[in-house]
Every structure is written in structure tokens, then in C-alpha cells.
Amino acid sequence: MTTIGIGIVGGGYMGKAHSVAMQAVGAVFNTLLRPKMEMICARSPISAEQYRSAFGFARATDNWSILVNDPKVEAVVIASPQSTHREIACAALTLGKPVFCEKPLGSSLEDSQAMVSIAEQTGITNMVGFNYIRTPASQFARQLIADGTIGRVTYFRGEHTEDFYADPNSPASWRANGDANGTMGDLAPHMINGALALIGPIDSLIAEVETVHKTRPGKTGAEPVTNDDQAQMMCRFENGAMGHLFFSRVATGRKMGYAYEISGTKGAIRFDQEDQNALWLYTMDGPPAQQGFKKILTGPAHPDYEPFCQGPGHGTGYQDQIIIEARDFLSAIETGKPVWPTFRDGMEVNRIIAAAQRSSNEKLWVSVDTK
């Protein structure tokens, strides 16, 4: 058992999630490589010091370059804003340091392409964090599709819907501006990744991206909202399946609507992250009178489940997903074997987002003749 020095850039929501995960992963999974909490980077010296103390790092900085170049930092986790991903990741990879980067990979397709380019040139371990696909239930769904249990997929419907901005009276804030903070920047990447991971590459699409609430109350009256609230696309997968994806931050009542339904020629699958320990499976086997959707509770028989201190039905929380990511990242570094998803997988998500934006800008709809 050896140790590896970890540096985390960003101390906010995801920075904390990854810090907790790195602290726990050794005891949970008994990994060979044990993380050593070397340095955390945040916006100001004060906040950096607070995170250091709270999360148990040895040192703190407000300069990501110091972190990346520190000799004791042997691997870098990027949990800072999208716009910073490219620069930090490229610097770390160039120094030969493995990088785990939060989703979405880049703030543009071009950024992502640059990151993939360096990652593949250097051959250094690179991974992108789409945590929701890591639940035992969703990993089991991938397995069921891969082994043919539901036959050939004919339809996929996915959504990532939340309601944190559903109330039109919710005030304008940083959320109301910047592509990265809109629904396509913030929520869509998770389910686009899910669609690609479950069904495969997307060939073509037609999309609509919309700002539902054009203004929101600001300090001195109504302020314009300059990014998107919801978006949908119809798509066609390379394997011929028809698809529909929907993303929204104004989906009233939805708290964690990362959900999908998959129809195949021999069965069907349903999943909703709001009940993340259940996968619903229908198969055409057996007598017709006994056919129905089966609610399977994830347990030791399912992928990525057993190492937790958990019997069947005990439940997987958000943090558990991040710990699984930490395990896979450490394991890839140690063994040199490929990890999933790589920067290339992250880049594919940016490609779909770019195509959807392009499609939405064209106006291709058929008007319904109302004569």
C-alpha cells in the first residue's frame, strides 16, 4: 500500500464532495493506492484556508498553478468553474500528473478537443466526472443492455430535470447568466452522457433551447435572463434507436429528475434518480399472466455495490457515487489500465451540446395549418 498526493482545485460543492470521497475511499474499498490530502486551491487565501482545515488538507493556495506544480501533488482533481478546466487540465497533464475533471469537460467543444488532444498525446490517466451514471442501478442498466436482456433498443427517453429555478419570482443571480450556468451547461451534460453510455453514439438530432422566464426580479427591478431554462431534442442513435432528451431547471416538483426509459425488442428498463436504488426491468419471458415491470432493489448482486458496508436494499447516496469515481481514478493510476469515462467521452457530450445549440438557432418547425 502506497500513497498518492492529491490536489483539489475548488472548495465549493463539488470540491467538498471529492474531498470527502478521497478521505473515505481507502477504508471503503481497501484500495492499494491511498490518497494523501496534500493541497486545496480556492478563490481567496481565506476561503482556501477554511477548506483546508475543514477537509483535512496539509496546505492551501489561491493559485491553481502553485497546486499543479507542487511536487507533492501527484494527481489533480478539478472542481472549479468550467471556464478554468482547460488550462488547469492541460498544465497538469503536461507535467505528467493524472487529472480527474468535473463535468462538463470544457466550456466549449473547442476546449474539450484541446484537452483530449493533450490527454491522448501524453497518455496520462484522464477521467471526467459524470457521477449519476455511477450508481449500481445505472451500471446494472448498462450491463442488461450490453448482455442483450432487453434485445435491440428501439426507443430511449432521458431527462435531467430539477426545479430550483421554477418559480418565476426566484431572483436573478449568477444562475441567470453565462452558458455554463444554464440548463445546457449545468444539467444536460449528465443525461447526454447517460444516453451515450447506455445506448451509444448519436447520429443526428433536432433541438430547441429556451429561456422560459425572460426576466427575473433583481435588486433594482426586472433583470434579463441570458441563459436557458429548458431544452429538448429528438435524436437518432447510430444503432437506429429513436430518442428524446429533455433538460430543465424549471420542472416544478422535480428534485433530482435524472431519469430514463428504454424500450427494446425483448424488454424494457426504467430508472429515476429520485429513487436511485431501484431499477425497473420488464422482460417478455415467462407466462403472459406473470409479466410486469419488476422493481429491482440494488444490492450485492449488482455492479459497484458490494464494497460498501451495505447489505441489500441499504441504499446508495450521492456521496457513494463520488467514492466510486475516486476508486476508479486511483485504480487507473495504479494499474495504468484505461478508465471510464475519459476526456474523450466528455468531449462527445460537448459535441452533442454544440449540435443542439446549432439546431435550435435554425428554425425548422412545421407550422400547423389552422384554417
Using CB under 8 A as the binding rule, the residues of this chain from 178 to 217 that contact its own copies are 201-208, 210, 212
In the complex, least distance from residue 179 CB atom to its own copies, rounded to whole angstroms: 19
In the complex, least distance from residue 237 CB atom to its own copies, rounded to whole angstroms: 10
In DSSP notation, 211-280 reads: -SSSEEEETTEEEE--S-SEEEEEEEETTS-EEEEEEES--TT-SSEEEEEEEESSEEEEEEGGGTTEEE
Instruction: Say how many C-beta atoms besides its own lie within 10 A of residue 72's C-beta.
Output: 12
Strand partners, 215: 224
Interface with its own copies (CB under 8 A), residue from 66, 95, 180, 296: 296
Interface with its own copies (CB under 8 A), residue from 174, 220, 221, 253: 253
**Among 234, 250, 251, 185, CA closest to 360:** 234
Interface with its own copies (CB under 8 A), residue from 69, 120, 256, 334: 256
Kindly state whether residue 314 participates in binding its own copies, applying the rule CB under 8 A: yes
The amino acid present at 38, given as its one-letter code, is: E
Q: Identify residues 262-281 at the interface with its own copies (CB under 8 A).
A: 263-268, 273-278, 281
Q: Identify residues 8-37 at the interface with its own copies (CB under 8 A).
A: 13-14, 16-17, 19-20, 23-24, 26-28, 30, 34
Kindly state whether residue 359 participates in binding its own copies, applying the rule CB under 8 A: yes
**C-beta of residue 166 within 8 angstroms of C-beta of residue 299:** no
List CB contacts of 296: < 8 A, sequence separation 6 or more.
137, 140, 278, 279, 280, 281
Q: Identify residues 40-99 at the interface with its own copies (CB under 8 A).
A: 53-56
- Alpha-carbon distance of 193 to 155, in angstroms, equals 17
Q: Identify residues 104-163 at the interface with its own copies (CB under 8 A).
A: 140, 150, 154-155, 157, 162
Interface with its own copies (CB under 8 A), residue from 242, 331, 334, 344: 242
